[in-house]
């Protein structure tokens, strides 16, 4: 026989656990620096004009690392760094952007990949001298992780379209 309390306990668990696991956006204001987890985040906009019922802005978003070095080491070493959301450092969302005429509505900031040269033995490569070490003759570059060094800055510029008479509204989520 099932208990009548089970569904109520499950709903209570969901209500209290979902906010604990969600990430929060932080609203940004034009030319106001906000510090989030050791990162100084800001943006500035310049109005470029109006066209067809929308205003075009040039938005420049900036992230500066004022904390410790950000390092993420991979368990496997890929040859190519893939820019996908789970590898991002920050996510900017332009909440009132229309997206018309190939304008941006959101953006991801990615840390720089860390490369290392790895020696390997090549079976079908040209012959080498007998006294040379075959493992040190050929090398290839692989990515061992990503980094955003303390004191470094990332800046990106976007074209944003918003409804005529509005100013871009920006929020950011740091992963």
pLDDT tens-digit profile, the chain (175 residues): 456 776 666 666 555 554 444 569 999 999 999 999 999 999 999 999 998 889 999 999 999 999 999 999 999 988 899 999 989 999 999 999 999 999 999 999 999 999 998 887 777 777 677 777 666 667 889 999 999 999 999 999 999 999 999 999 999 999 8
- Domain layout of the chain by residue ranges: 23-72+83-113+147-174
Question: Which is nearest to 40 in space by CA: 109, 134, 120?
Answer: 109
| Paired strand residues for 111 | none
Q: From CA 16, how far away is CA 12, in angstroms rounded? A: 6
Q: Determine phi and psi for 6, rounding to 5 degrees.
A: -55, -50
Q: From CA 105, how far away is CA 102, in angstroms rounded? A: 9
How far apart are the two ends of the chain, measured CA to CA in Å? 44
What does the pLDDT look like over 3-47, one tens digit per residue?
677 666 666 655 555 444 456 999 999 999 999 999 999 999 999
CATH number listed for the domain at residues 23-72+83-113+147-174: 2.60.40
Find out whether 78 and 141 touch, Cβ atoms under 8 Å.
no
Question: Which is nearest to 66 in space by CA: 7, 155, 159, 150?
Answer: 150
């Amino acid at each position: 026989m099932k208990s009548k309390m089970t569904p109520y306990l499950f709903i209570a668990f969901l209500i209290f656990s979902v906010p604990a696991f969600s990430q929060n956006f932080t609203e940004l204001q034009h030319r106001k620096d906000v510090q989030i987890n050791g990162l100084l985040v800001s943006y500035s906009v310049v109005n470029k004009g109006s066209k067809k019922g929308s205003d075009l802005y040039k938005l420049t978003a900036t992230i500066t690392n004022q904390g410790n070095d950000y390092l993420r080491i991979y368990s496997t070493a890929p040859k190519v760094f893939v820019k996908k959301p789970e590898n991002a450092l920050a996510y900017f969302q332009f909440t009132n952007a229309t997206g018309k005429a190939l304008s941006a509505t959101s953006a991801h900031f990615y840390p720089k990949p860390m490369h290392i040269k790895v020696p390997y033995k090549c079976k079908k490569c040209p012959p080498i001298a007998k006294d040379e070490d075959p493992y040190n003759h050929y090398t290839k570059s692989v990515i061992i992780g990503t980094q955003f060094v303390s004191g470094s800055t990332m800046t990106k510029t976007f074209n944003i379209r918003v409804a005529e008479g509005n100013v871009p509204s920006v929020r950011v989520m740091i992963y």
